Structure 1
């Protein structure tokens, strides 16, 4: 019978000494190699939690936080910051920590997250369907109407911005609705970006401007002076609220909605706009077969189809805030 322990954790597990103490407790065999790998994994998760989630104690982690961590690992693999084998080792070691504390709800599957060892596991569609998106945003609207709590409407606007502009959760939450360049149809993304690197994303339709105008009017009407986060809340508090809403929604309707899926939808829609074809992960033409279909449809050479695909992926990569087109394989398939 598994002994359930209280997962209190060290206050700062980014520190090697603190991570080592926890690893020593978890790796009961005392194997030095396993301890070192576990220390690396613990520090990796703690650094992500501290910098991206503003969370100092891992005891506050929820399943949605771990989904975001998996996304973070996928991005690092795609950017060639770490190998996929390294990512799989991190997940394995972190799962051992959670198993020790009886937190099966926080475990990740390397295979399901596209991070298993061996063949690169790109072709998983993680986008949010129109039906699920509408179901979740309708849920938020109803909560706002029923309770009068403006946080639900602010969160709904944030979700729409993620889908419309391909923003990360943190980017949409911290956006101040400034930096809208109507002349060039571009939107500045400055706060909450990966590596604090600002970028511009395109405003592709009137619906984009309508959303931004509504968001600005909402902020003014309800006294949101900084961003879509209420003035009396820190980002970490807002994130906990948002993830709690998702958890309640998923449990109530037996769904699997996650914020980062909106970015996948954005990437796939952009690929369709730029190439005229559904992304491989959506069309089912995978393992390069989509290039042959593209070539035959347009009456161009296979090399020209590859160039069209490459150029589209490059644009999408930049719009998502990445610097390598390889990472688009996780969004679009290959």
Structure 2
């Protein structure tokens, strides 16, 4: 059968999977990429590589949204998938380059399948850092957006989002968080130990420095009641994750991982104030200036020290941020702070 080169050359372009001759999304995606090959828009190896990459997205939308038809895929679904890619970058299970490749495959397939770019999500829009690993887009959820979302999701998920914001937790860490035991620990030791769902199973301690953290933990403990964590006792983690992703996908441009970014920025500003006595010192991504020398000059001017002294202090501050995020490498802070 001779391949067409675009959607409108197909026999039934408005049928399931835009008429790409398969009821299976991944097979339909491969057929879309073969169309691009036929149009000399990509090579044979690209067809195979992008089919494999797209298959992960197909599994994501099927398991989280029960989706089996490309026609139902929206930009919100692509954003949700991109958030999962961000989580994997953060946990160290996916490189920045691979995240770009996976998202690019989704965009390539969907544009060919649809015949337009209406569900396209760029890496920048998705909050994926550039290939250097240094983010140039502020991905932190604002206080206004945070309050709007928690007011419009169920109480359990709202309590979890508060925990993510106040303690800097990943989605899985917050879902598996035992707020009841954490509340006792926080009151006794002014810190909480994060152990379940952490990167590499490595425990970390988050200092309790403000009342809003206690309030968030107490709110979560009240919701948790007799359950062992924020996951209801009648659900698995996978089921709870899927339910939560479906609910959060209704809120355009919201990603729960952005709560962790807000936490990182907050710690950065607080630590700089402790060390310099100067309030409101912001990371590069917030100020809108380049990572490195330009930002060191900004810090020097704000704190009346030399650029080299500012650089040394910045390294100390970033080390603290990395530790509270559960990372041993300072360069991971480039992903959060720029």
TM norm structure 1? 0.74
Mapped contact 1:124–1:330 kept (Cα < 8 A)? no
Q: CA deviation at 1:124?
A: 0.7
Q: Residues 106, 232 of structure 1: CA spacing in aligned structure 2 closer, same or farther, 3 A cutoff?
A: farther
Q: CA deviation at 1:36?
A: 4.1
The alignment yields a C-alpha RMSD, in angstroms, of 3.5
Q: Which residue of 2 aligns with 1:176?
A: 178
Q: How does 1:164-243 map to 2 (within 5 A)?
A: 164-177=166-179, 178-179=181-182, 181-182=185-186, 183-220=188-225, 224-243=226-245
CA distance in 2, matches of 1:36, 1:56: 25
Mapped contact 2:172–2:197 kept (Cα < 8 A)? yes
Q: Residues 229, 104 of structure 1: CA spacing in aligned structure 2 closer, same or farther, 3 A cutoff?
A: farther
CA distance in 1, matches of 2:330, 2:24: 38
Out of 123, 126, 133, the position equivalent to 2:136 is 123
Q: Which residue of 2 aligns with 1:27?
A: 33
Does residue 279 of the first structure (1) align with residue 283 of the second (2)?
Answer: yes
Could you list the per-position Cα deviations for residues 262-296 of structure 1 after superposition, in whole angstroms to 9, with x for gaps in the alignment? Answer: 11110111110011212222223434323223223
Bigger drift between 314-323 and 153-162 goes to: 314-323
Report SS of the residue matched to 2:123.
Answer: coil
Report SS of the residue matched to 1:237.
Answer: helix
Does residue 65 of the first structure (1) align with residue 80 of the second (2)?
Answer: yes
Q: How does 1:253-268 map to 2 (within 5 A)?
A: 255-268=252-265
Q: CA deviation at 1:56?
A: 11
> How many corresponding residue pairs?
299
CA distance in 2, matches of 1:90, 1:301: 42
CA distance in 1, matches of 2:100, 2:246: 27
CA distance in 1, matches of 2:254, 2:169: 16
Mapped contact 1:54–1:236 kept (Cα < 8 A)? no
Could you list the per-position Cα deviations for residues 152-181 of structure 1 after superposition, in whole angstroms to 9, with x for gaps in the alignment? Answer: 111111010010001111211121223553
Mapped contact 2:271–2:317 kept (Cα < 8 A)? yes
> More relative contact order in 1 or in 2 (CA 8 Å, sep 6+)?
1
Unaligned runs of 5+ in 1: 11-18, 141-151
CA distance in 2, matches of 1:327, 1:173: 23
TM norm structure 2? 0.73
Could you list the per-position Cα deviations for residues 293-320 of structure 1 after superposition, in whole angstroms to 9, with x for gaps in the alignment? Answer: 3223333222221111112112212222
Report SS of the residue matched to 2:192.
Answer: strand
